[in-house]
Structures are given as structure tokens and as C-alpha cells.
């Protein structure tokens, strides 16, 4: 919300000498955060003065353009008192008019320096300015012609045009819609700035009594529109110019002057916060009816868009059908035009939820809609309409027709009850009952105290105040958030990182050292992401926790897997030219346990055990996961030879390296799970516990995310690994005796897992086995159909002696015997 400082101070008195910085600092402390303080003339320097046109001589040019050679009286501003010769291309002025002149040495917005220069055969010593050249709007069709009594030649024009006006821009939270008006901001100044007095409510005015002589109105949906006020003016001059003070103020507030009728309704909206709409009264056919639209009903709105309505839309109708989307945008059929002489003024209160839904459904954003969908004071409809009538009659030559239509009444505000000491208990400040009552009354509440209990009726402009803690916020923000003591708990010394933190850092260092790059993604997911992974309808990863107010409608839920975000990140980098990508992320995923919403716990006392149990049961599980995605080359090509593309084993090895860093060893078994290739997917187990999966991505998934074929990925549950990790690993012991190497080739059925054979060999070899490695898988006709040969390299070493041939032979044969017993393996000659 942009608000000229002088406009605010028309409605409240502050102590003399109060600076803009002091004013905005107090507003920020009470909840209206300062965004910026601007001034339209901040970028203008040098002589900018009032000039009176003495002569105007049109001179046609060869290019078909006609310029005017003018002499302009600028008083003593040029240092000589002589008229200034200026070339001007505009034609909307005559001799005797007062204009805005920037003299040589002046600088206009954009760094445009003015100097005396020869143009069109004359030395032009200055420039006669338009609104756009001064940064006052987009009008460049003609220069600014000042009123005849604006000032004297040579007088500085900044004050006349409001160029020295300070405009305060505030960030207004959605729950404080009342501050989207001068009325609301001035009220905040009155209660927040020390010494401020004399708040003058622009909506507090005498209005004519309602009667049955006004334009007939019927409300068929009093929930959607509880109050509707209609006033009519006739004899309106649609060509009448907008007064300078109105044009300057709505421009400073960020709106564009259009016409007197439109500018007046915008001005009153900015002043009071109440959106107003004007109809060409001669185009309205019969009585006005407010109702819900019929499904499929059509309306062309003021922006020229033909809209198909739904049964949820509130519409304003006459005998011809819908003539406006209530509270959102008017209709084209009753638009005020240059021939309008009678204006029907609508000032109505609309249901905020309906306004929000209609605006989003039809993709309409407007200043009026922004206020209506957040909640506006329903009691000022008559005052706002009367203010519009006053301005139209004063500046548009109109007269108010007899009759004031007021249908419906403002809904009553609900009362809120709280303990008198609740603000003190919540804030920790010594707030006494008198302070609590005084501050609530200052913000407009009607307060009744009964013993230790307070009952407050919020003011009609505060629909956001609905529970005791809203009252607490009102009291504490006026006491001052800056007075709440900052008491930090004593930090325990010497503890350092926790075990889990140390292990997480160990995991990150391990992967970074292996060439993987850590990324951080948003933890949100949508149905399209899960579809892209190829998940089945009954896959548990499709059971997601949906957010009530997501950042994006395309990702409205908390993710159950890290892979969609990682795949998008990898695909984005490949699309930007990265030939090889290896990224990882450690983050929590959200696995819902219950469909019930978490209860809201009290803040003025310790929750009961039952309340805490209910909260815990409603919370989802959020295990820590590790996700990996790699594409392109695992080893780059170079002068040393060709590169090696990534393959499924790289994903498995990356997870195994993490497990090894934690002092663990994982079993690898074949599996089939989306989004991996059904024949190149492995499940990773720690004992009997399933830790995760790794392997090559399905070709369809690679295509969807823009990755090269045969890209790989892995996702594992880090909580399981960290739980079983060896925190302080003992230093390794090294034997000084030589190793003995033995190779064995075992023929097994195709269905036998290499991991099962390896486990049997490891157990059978006993303590002398130092390491085991699968180095070859062989298939041939000689082995027979459905059989394969697995070749393992076994390395034996003793800590206290050199092994003999008998030692290694016995260990190897024991290993082979156990493998044969468990897997049916036959040693290959």
C-alpha cells in the first residue's frame, strides 16, 4: 500500500517535528512493515518552475510535423528576467497558459540533462514538460497546463505538482486489510506514534436517511452480499477533468488516472478502504438483483473478456441479466462512457471467501478485489457512497437525485472472551489489566470486564480478530514487540556436534570426495512428478501429505521420495550443457501415518499428556533419506583413452561407500521397483532390514526428465544406517606378513544371486580371509542353459605368521564347500 504522508496526516495529528523515519519505525513495530519511502521528484534536480506562455508560433516542418516556437515568462528563474525561448512539439496550450518549465542545468528522471541547444532552427533554452517526462504518469499526448491560479512565473513548481510529497509504501499482511486505506493507516498512526492525537475518521460523516425513492435493489443471497447501498447522480459532465489533488494522490498510490468518475471511486476506495463501483444509470434496465449465477451464464466484463460463470459466482443483475461480477469487476454493458450523464453508485459489502474464489476462478486481480477478498468494514457502505456523490457533484457538475437505497444490514461481529492476564502470560511482559483494556479499546474493540475475564467485540474493520490470541496480539503489538526481553538459555559447553550430526557430515564428505555434488531442493511433489516416476496406483509412495496452502498448485504435497526433485535438477543441468552430472541430497521425506489434522496446543499452559499424544499421532514420519542421481560419464575421456559411462553398479558402489564410511556392510540383491529398470535394479539390505534401492533408471523416466539413456539413481533410508553405524571406528590393524591369493570359479544356477555365493564363501573361509571380490561372470554353451560361472578373488593373511599352502588350501576348500552346500555351487575346473 502506497500512501502519501500528507494524506495520512490530514486524518491524524502527530507531534510537531515527527520525522518520516520516526513515523514509519513506529508503524513497522506495530505490524505495518516499511517497504520504501519514495518521492516523485527525487530524480529531478535543478530549476523546475512555473512559466507563462507569452507567444506561440506554429512552424510546419519538412517531415510533416509542426512545432511551436514559444516565448515563456519564467520570472527571475533564468537570472535575467527575460522571456525564455523554447521549442515545444505539443499543441494543447495557448498563450497565457501556465506551464511547467525545466531550465538549462536541470535533470529529469532517467538522468536526462537539459541544456540550451539548437533545434528546428532555434536555440531552445529549456523544455516545457509533460506528465511522463516528470515521472507523474504515462500521459505524453500533451504538456501539463496548470490552473490559472497555480502560481507566479519563476515559482518553484515542485510543491504545486506534489513532487516533494513523500509517499510511504507499507507491506500489508493479508489479515490487516483495513490498512489498505488511508483511514486504516491513519488509525494505526494514532495508536502507535507516541503523542499522536485527533484521529479524524473519513468514514464518520452524516449521511441521508434511507428511503424507498432510490433505485430498487433486491438481495437474493444475503450471505454473499449482506449490505447494498445505491445512490444516483444526474447532470454529470463526463468530460469534466479530475481535480489535481485527486489525480496526484491516486498516482502516488500507484494507480493511473482515467476519468473523473473512475478516479473518484478509486480515490474513495483508497481513502476509506471500501471498493465502489459506478454504472451508467441510463444503461441499467430495471431493478438491481444480487444473486448466484446460473451454471454456464455469460458475462462480458470491463476488460472485454467474455466469461462463463459458475453457480458459485455472485453477480449483480438487472432485467437484461448479469451486469457485473459482484465485488470483483463490473460488466461492459453498463460501463460509464463519454456520453454518461447519470451515474448509479454501488457501495456493497461482499463475502470475502466468495470474492477470493471468484477472483481465482476467473483469474482477475484488481485493487477492489484485493480488498474485498480480505474483508472490508461492512458498516461504512453508506458513508463511502455519500463521499462519492459529494465529489461527483462538486467536481463533475452533477446533482444528487432524491432517494437513498440501503438494503440489508452489516453482520454483527462475534464476541471474544479471554482471561485478563493472558497477554501477560503469553508475552512474559508485566501487562496489567488496565493496559490490556486500554489497548483493546484503542484499536476499536468494545470491552466488558467481568472479574478475571474480558469479553471484547472486535471493530467491524477487523474480521481477523476471532480468538483470544488475536486479542493478545493486539495488546502486545501496542505495548511493543521491542520491549519483550530477549533471554537466551545458557548454552552447554563442550558437547559439540551430536552423534547423528557427525555421521551426516561423514556421509557428505565421503560422497563429495568421490565426486558427487550436494544439492538442496524443495520438499514438495505433485501427481505429475509421481506419474513421471512410473509409480503404480497402489505404490505407498503415492500416499502423500497435502498442504492447505502450497507454494505451487503443481506441487501441493510433501514428497515421499527425493528422486523427482533430484531428477529435475540433473535434467536441468544436462539441458544447460553439462555432459556429466552426479548429484546427491540428504533430506527428510514425509510419510503420513494418519489423515487427522494435528490439534492446536495451548500456549498459556503446558499441554496435557493426552494432548501431546494426540499431536504425536497426527504427525507424519519424516525419515532422513539419501538420494543420488548420475548421468553421462563416470570416468572422463582424454588423451589416455575413451571414457566410461555410468552404469548401475556406480549407484550401488556409491551407497556401499557411504555404508563403509559408517562401518557397515550392505547386502545387494536383485529387485524390481519404479523408477528403476526392472532388470537393472538392486535392493540394499542391512541384515534383514531393507535400506533402499539403486540401479539404472527406466528409459521412459530418463526421457521424461531429459536425462541421457542409462542414467542411474539410488535412494536409501539414512536413519537406518545412522542407527546401526559405528560412531567411533577402531583404528585398523595391519599385518606385516604377506598375503596369499586364491581364485575360485563356481558354477551356479542363473537364479542364484552372486551376493549369496559371496556370503557363503566369506563365512566358510573363516578369519584368515582378508577380502573377497567378484571379478568375472561367465556364461557359455559348455556350462549349460540357465547356468553361469562366478569367479572370485580371495585374499588371505594371518596377523602372526606367513600362511602355508596348506593353510590357504584348507581355507579355500572350506569356503567352496559351504558355498556348495548353501547355493549348489560346483567348482569349475
pLDDT 10s digits, 570-587: 999 999 999 999 999 999
Check the CA dihedral 508-513-514-518 and report its sign: positive
Mean pLDDT of the chain: 91
What percent of the chain has pLDDT above 70?
99
At 112-129, the pLDDT tens digits run 889 999 988 899 999 999
Q: What pLDDT is attached to residue 640? A: 87
At 60-103, the pLDDT tens digits run 988 888 899 999 999 988 888 889 999 998 989 999 999 999 99
* Cα distances (Å, whole numbers) of residue 693 to 230, 568, 627, 817: 68, 19, 10, 31
Flag whether pLDDT at 598 surpasses 80. no
Query: C-alpha cell of 767?
Result: 578369519
CA 318 centroid distance within chain: 39
CA 139 centroid distance within chain: 33
What percent of the chain has pLDDT above 90?
67
At 521-554, the pLDDT tens digits run 999 999 999 999 999 989 999 999 999 889 998 9
Of the listed ranges 74-83, 504-513, 692-701, 808-817, the least confidently predicted one is 74-83
* Cα distances (Å, whole numbers) of residue 503 to 84, 497, 743: 80, 10, 36
Name the band, by pLDDT with cuts 50, 70 and 90, for residue 230.
Answer: very high
At 735-791, the pLDDT tens digits run 899 999 999 999 999 989 888 899 899 999 999 999 999 999 999 988 888 999 999
Flag whether pLDDT at 312 surpasses 70. yes
In degrees, rounded to 5, the angle at the alpha carbon of residue 42 between the alpha carbons of residues 140 and 79 is 80
Kindly provide the residue ranges of all beta strands, DSSP E only, lying in 319-463, ordered along the sequence.
321-325, 329-330, 343-349, 399-400, 405-408, 416-419, 446-450, 453-457
Flag whether pLDDT at 563 surpasses 70. yes
At 637-680, the pLDDT tens digits run 888 888 899 999 999 999 999 999 999 989 888 899 999 998 89
At 235-247, the pLDDT tens digits run 999 989 888 889 8
Query: C-alpha cell of 527?
Result: 501427481
- pTM as predicted: 0.61
CA 661 centroid distance within chain: 40
Q: What pLDDT is attached to residue 488? A: 81
| Residue in 370, 267, 349 with CA at minimum distance from that of residue 10 | 267
Rounded average pLDDT over 241-256: 87
Q: What pLDDT is attached to residue 797? A: 94
Rounded average pLDDT over 3-28: 91
Residue with cell 495488546: 475
Round to whole Å and give the CA distance between 90 and 262.
Answer: 26
Which domains, and CATH codes, for the chain?
2-40+166-192 (3.30.56.10), 48-161 (2.40.50.140), 217-408 (3.50.40.10), 416-482 (3.30.56.10), 499-724 (3.30.930.10), 740-827 (3.30.70.380)
Note the helical H segments in 193-255.
244-252
At 721-730, the pLDDT tens digits run 999 998 777 7
Name the band, by pLDDT with cuts 50, 70 and 90, for residue 492.
Answer: confident
Flag whether pLDDT at 597 surpasses 80. no
| More confident: 311 or 79 | 311
Round to whole Å and give the CA distance between 727 and 239.
Answer: 83
Rounded average pLDDT over 44-70: 90
Name the band, by pLDDT with cuts 50, 70 and 90, for residue 476.
Answer: very high
Name the band, by pLDDT with cuts 50, 70 and 90, for residue 110.
Answer: confident
Round to whole Å and give the CA distance between 277 and 281.
Answer: 12
Round to whole Å and give the CA distance between 133 and 63.
Answer: 24
Flag whether pLDDT at 596 surpasses 80. no
Q: What pLDDT is attached to residue 821? A: 93
Name the band, by pLDDT with cuts 50, 70 and 90, for residue 133.
Answer: confident
Query: C-alpha cell of 47?
Result: 530549476
At 148-206, the pLDDT tens digits run 888 899 999 888 887 888 889 999 888 889 999 999 999 999 999 998 888 999 999 99
Flag whether pLDDT at 253 surpasses 70. yes
| Residue in 39, 36, 160 with CA at minimum distance from that of residue 98 | 160
Name the band, by pLDDT with cuts 50, 70 and 90, for residue 140.
Answer: low
* Cα distances (Å, whole numbers) of residue 142 to 89, 130, 138: 9, 6, 11
| Residue in 778, 775, 776 with CA at minimum distance from that of residue 795 | 775
| Residue in 716, 722, 727, 705 with CA at minimum distance from that of residue 585 | 716
| Residue in 439, 511, 519 with CA at minimum distance from that of residue 475 | 439
Q: What pLDDT is attached to residue 507? A: 95
Amino acid at each position: 500500500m502506497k500512501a502519501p504522508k500528507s494524506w495520512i496526516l490530514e486524518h491524524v495529528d502527530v507531534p510537531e517535528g515527527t520525522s518520516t523515519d520516526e513515523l514509519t519505525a513506529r508503524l513497522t513495530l506495530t505490524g505495518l512493515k516499511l517497504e520504501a519511502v519514495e518521492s516523485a521528484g527525487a530524480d529531478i534536480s535543478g530549476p523546475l518552475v512555473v512559466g507563462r506562455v507569452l507567444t506561440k508560433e506554429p512552424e510546419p516542418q519538412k517531415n510533416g510535423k509542426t512545432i511551436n516556437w514559444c516565448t515563456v515568462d519564467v520570472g527571475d528563474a533564468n537570472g535575467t528576467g527575460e522571456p525564455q525561448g523554447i521549442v515545444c512539439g505539443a499543441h494543447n496550450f495557448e498563450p497565457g497558459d501556465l506551464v511547467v518549465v525545466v531550465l538549462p542545468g536541470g535533470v529529469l528522471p532517467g538522468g536526462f540533462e537539459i541544456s540550451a541547444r539548437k533545434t528546428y532552427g532555434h536555440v531552445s533554452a529549456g523544455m516545457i514538460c509533460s506528465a511522463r517526462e516528470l515521472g507523474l504518469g504515462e500521459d505524453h499526448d500533451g504538456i501539463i497546463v496548470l490552473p490559472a491560479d497555480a502560481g507566479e512565473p519563476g515559482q518553484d513548481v515542485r510543491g504545486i505538482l506534489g513532487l516533494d510529497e513523500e509517499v510511504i509504501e507499507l507491506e500489508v499482511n493479508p489479515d490487516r486489510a483495513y490498512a489498505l486505506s488511508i483511514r486504516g493507516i491513519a488509525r494505526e498512526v494514532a495508536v502507535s506514534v507516541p503523542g499522536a492525537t485527533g484521529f479524524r475518521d473519513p468514514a464518520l460523516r452524516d449521511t441521508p436517511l434511507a428511503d424507498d425513492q432510490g433505485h430498487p435493489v433486491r438481495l437474493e443471497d444475503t450471505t454473499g452480499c449482506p449490505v447494498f447501498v445505491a445512490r444516483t447522480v444526474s447532470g454529470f459532465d463526463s468530460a469534466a477533468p479530475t481535480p489535481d489533488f485527486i489525480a496526484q494522490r491516486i498516482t502516488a498510490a500507484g494507480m493511473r488516472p482515467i476519468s473523473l468518475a473512475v478516479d473518484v471511486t478509486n480515490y474513495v476506495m483508497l481513502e476509506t478502504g471500501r471498493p465502489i463501483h459506478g454504472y451508467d444509470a441510463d444503461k441499467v434496465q430495471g431493478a438491481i438483483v444480487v444473486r448466484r449465477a446460473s451454471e454456464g451464464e455469460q458475462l462480458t466484463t470491463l476488460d472485454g473478456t467474455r466469461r462463463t460463470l459458475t453457480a458459485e459466482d455472485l453477480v449483480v443483475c438487472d432485467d437484461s441479466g448479469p451486469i457485473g461480477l459482484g465485488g470483483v469487476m463490473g460488466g461492459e454493458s453498463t460501463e460509464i462512457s463519454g456520453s454518461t450523464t447519470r451515474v448509479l453508485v454501488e457501495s456493497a459489502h461482499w463475502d470475502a471467501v466468495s470474492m477470493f474464489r471468484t477472483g481465482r476462478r476467473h483469474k482477475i486481480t484488481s485493487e477492489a478485489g484485493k480488498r474485498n477478498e480480505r474483508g472490508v468494514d461492512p458498516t461504512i457502505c453508506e458513508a463511502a457512497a455519500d463521499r462519492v456523490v459529494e465529489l461527483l457533484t462538486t467536481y463533475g457538475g452533477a446533482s444528487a437525485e432524491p432517494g437513498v437505497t440501503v438494503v440489508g444490514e452489516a453482520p454483527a461481529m462475534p464476541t471474544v472472551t479471554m482471561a485478563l492476564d493472558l497477554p501477560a502470560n503469553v508475552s512474559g511482559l508485566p501487562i496489567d489489566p488496565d493496559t490490556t483494556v486500554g489497548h483493546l479499546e484503542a484499536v476499536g474493540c468494545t470491552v466488558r470486564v467481568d472479574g478475571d475475564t474480558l469479553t471484547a467485540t472486535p471493530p467491524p474493520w477487523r474480521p481477523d480478530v476471532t480468538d483470544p490470541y488475536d486479542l493478545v496480539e493486539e495488546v502486545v503489538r501496542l505495548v511493543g514487540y521491542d520491549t519483550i526481553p530477549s533471554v537466551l538459555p545458557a548454552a552447554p559447553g563442550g558437547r559439540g556436534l551430536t552423534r547423528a550430526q557427525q555421521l551426516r557430515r561423514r556421509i557428505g564428505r565421503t560422497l563429495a570426495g568421490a565426486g558427487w555434488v550436494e544439492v538442496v531442493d524443495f520438499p514438495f511433489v505433485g501427481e505429475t512428478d509421481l506419474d513421471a516416476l512410473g509409480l503404480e496406483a497402489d505404490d505407498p509412495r503415492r500416499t502423500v501429505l497435502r498442504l492447505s496452502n502450497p507454494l505451487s498448485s503443481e506441487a501441493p504435497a510433501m514428497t515421499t521420495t527425493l528422486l523427482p526433485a533430484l531428477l529435475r535438477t540433473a535434467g536441468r543441468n544436462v539441458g544447460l550443457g553439462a555432459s556429466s552430472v552426479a548429484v546427491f541430497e540428504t533430506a527428510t521425506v514425509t510419510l503420513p501415518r494418519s489423515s487427522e489434522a494435528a490439534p492446536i496446543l495451548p500456549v498459556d499452559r503446558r499441554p496435557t499428556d493426552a494432548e501431546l499424544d494426540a499431536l504425536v499421532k497426527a504427525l507424519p514420519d519424516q525419515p532422513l533419506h539419501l538420494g543420488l542421481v548420475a548421468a553421462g560419464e563416470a570416468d572422463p575421456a582424454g588423451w589416455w583413452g575413451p571414457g566410461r559411462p555410468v552404469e548401475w553398479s556406480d549407484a550401488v558402489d556409491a551407497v556401499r561407500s557411504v555404508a563403509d564410511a559408517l562401518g557397515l556392510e550392505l547386502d545387494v540383491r536383485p529387485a524390481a521397483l519404479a523408477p528403476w529398470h526392472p532388470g537393472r535394479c538392486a535392493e540394499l539390505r542391512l541384515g534383514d532390514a531393507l535400506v533402499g534401492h539403486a540401479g539404472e533408471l527406466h528409459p521412459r523416466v530418463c526421457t521424461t526428465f531429459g536425462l541421457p539413456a542409462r542414467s542411474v539413481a539410488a535412494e536409501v533410508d539414512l536413519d537406518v544406517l545412522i542407527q546401526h553405524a559405528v560412531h567411533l571406528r577402531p583404528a585398523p590393524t595391519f599385518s606385516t606378513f604377506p598375503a596369499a591369493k586364491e581364485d575360485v570359479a563356481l558354477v551356479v544356477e542363473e537364479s542364484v544371486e552372486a551376493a549369496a555365493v559371496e556370503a557363503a564363501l566369506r563365512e566358510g573361509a573363516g578369519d584368515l580371509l582378508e577380502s573377497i571380490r567378484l571379478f568375472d561372470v561367465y556364461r557359455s554353451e559348455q556350462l549349460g542353459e540357465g547356468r553361469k560361472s562366478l569367479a572370485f578373488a580371495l585374499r588371505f593373511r594371518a596377523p602372526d605368521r606367513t600362511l602355508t599352502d596348506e593353510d590357504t588350501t584348507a581355507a579355500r576348500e572350506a569356503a567352496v564347500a559351504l558355498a556348495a552346500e548353501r547355493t549348489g555351487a560346483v567348482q569349475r575346473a
